[in-house]
Structure 1
Amino acid sequence: MQFQSLEQRMLHTYVDTFPPFVPLREAPASEESQRQLHAFFEGMYQRFAADPSIWFSELHEDDAHPYRFNKAAYGKPKLIVDMRKVLKTVDSFLGVLFSLGKEGSLEGNILVLGDTKGVSRKHRAVMAELGLKLGGLAMPTSSALPKGSGPSKACVLSHDDLPEMFAAWKWMASRPGASMLAFSRCMFDPDHSYMRDVYRRLSGCEGAFDMLERYLLEADHQLVDRRDGGLTVDYVKCRGDAGAKLGHPAYDHNYTGIAADYDHVIVVPQYFMLRILRMRDILPMFDRMDEDLKDFVIEYNQRCHGCDFCIQRHKARSSAVKRFCVVVEHRGKRYGLCPLFPGHSYCWTSLDEKRVKGIIAFLSFMERELFAT
């Protein structure tokens, strides 16, 4: 997608990661209230992305990091600062909306608020752009009024076009375990994986995603939603200590499977990465693979290019360390394959049927050769 500015690129990440509407059927807020809140946030993110000047008077030329695992190599240290500034600006606003819902009281189709001095002039202006009305209103004495707000006047939040959304707003901001992420992405049902729905769309081929997911679940992988509170989905099997913490897929030593994640500052933010263990055992088994799996490994495995990182990493243990490179032959050619950090190369921004068949074949081979009991 082409962006007109850095700010537009970053604001579009909120559109990218916003899930489709899936309500909680039996909730304190009606399905219509949930639907209206979802429509509010969806429209808000689209509005921000379409017109970054709502937030920023000065726009930067569009740019993004091309190297997912070595951002410093791009040579633009200020870029990530500028990108995160955009995210921080919007997240600060989301925090205000979350706090208003948490601290306010529901009175019909409005939120009755106490002290709103913490709502900045800029935030008030943006709220007005979004159709939110924040102001004083004479009211009868009510048990819904916040303590200290007085019996006859309160500050209230309302919206003419989406009047019923505030029941869902209040519930999502104040229910047990409420989080700004779930609130701002309208993740109403705690048992539903909304990020799974997001990555299904971002995969570029929903049929291929479904094929992969079907295999993973049938092969007893566990779906883990929002690892460490992030925008992640993992399908994993534990190979280490039971209950071991699930870490980053490129460096985790306890789990196999696949992870989906979103890195806001990369040219194409979403990625799907295999969780691979014991690659130094897998590559020497190359001759046991069928031809299609060999093609897959040759296409994606990192070649040894003589960086000698493996030697530097292990020279303290032995003075006779050799390169970890595994030499294989395939279709009349020789390849030197590196077994280190395989997640860096078995990593994709999209899925298709051919790629998914290779992923399934690789995970099945790893299961059969290394972990079968």
Structure 2
Amino acid sequence: METNFNPTRKQKTNTGGVLLGFSRIFVGVLFIFSGLIKANDPTGFGYKLQEYFHVFHLGFLNDYSTWIAVLICGFEIILGAFLLLGFYARKVAWGLLFLTVFFTFLTFYSAFFEVVTSCGCFGDAIPLTPWQSFSKDLVLLVFILIVFTYRNRIRPLLPKGSTRSLVAALVVILSFGIGVYTVYFLPFIDFLPYKEGNNIPELMVLPEGKEGDVYEYIYEIKHKTTGETKKVTDKEYMNGIWEDENWEVVGEPSTKLVKKGYQIPIPDLLISDADGNDVTQEIITNPYYNFIVVSTYADNLSTADIIALDRINSTIRDLSTDYNLRAVLLTASSSQVAMGLNDEMDLVLETFYADAVPLKSMVRSNPGILLLQNGVVIKKWSKITFPSKEELEKEYLAK
């Protein structure tokens, strides 16, 4: 009896198995890593989603951006974990393909039209430009297409039954639970410049020996007699052209980045009082304990936020009678809104103003609290984790 043996077919089968195995591990691990990084800070990812909502005129979704971020992060983790475990292979393959094609389009659109400067794919931990993210998505798409092509070969690591269902349920609960937890209790790992232990004043200046971005100024000049116009760099202009009375500058000079330099971690923090006076250094270099209560937009506070702010205010009021400390409210709201809130709640907090961008980076909670001393961030709390008077005394003030 003859046996038909086709070594070429066996070789193709082995090659497909190797490609599938590697692709499953690569895609699965990358999706889990990406999902976990963003789930560590879904509020920050939500801010990034708001930029995309603005571009595509979907501003009505802004109020739900954080919870949309939680869902996206959760699905990323679930798809990655299920791919590694071999659960629901066909559905997972379709999910991976759809999600990656969608984000590939999104990152290409962002890069080509220069509408979003950072994609947020790996949160603030690993900032990527839209072009870098688009390139990453193209590479990822290749491996996902391999998974999709060979999806029928994927076999689950656990047999069908109660054990597999239990593991799948735990994966789903953990995937969404991580994001929900960090929304209320702040990120596990803080990748922002206002993290605990950082010295804020030091991060606002260019360190000695470091060079910032180098720009070139481009002037458009016009010959008074011939009407000829041309563009010259600032060096060319200063190299004798400025002395020639036949040439005149037209309009304002443009700038061009020549060399990327050291990026100051906190370049945009400006704190002012109601009269517009700069009080930044006064606030952040206070040698005593300094409670900074951050409320990005006081006019957007929900009922739960108001209750939390009242509790924070009451605790600080009780502390201020016994200890030499300062407490301020930082907000991006108008002075009218802030003063109205102050009158309504009888705030003990001094009210100051800053742009919403640095306030969102200070603490991922609205309201949120920072404890500073000599410009150093001692501790951060969300609106629901701010301790009682007794706990604050024991841990910080009574020492």
TM-score, normalised relative to structure 2? 0.28
Structure holding more helix per residue: 2
Provide TM-score, normalisation by structure 1. Answer: 0.30
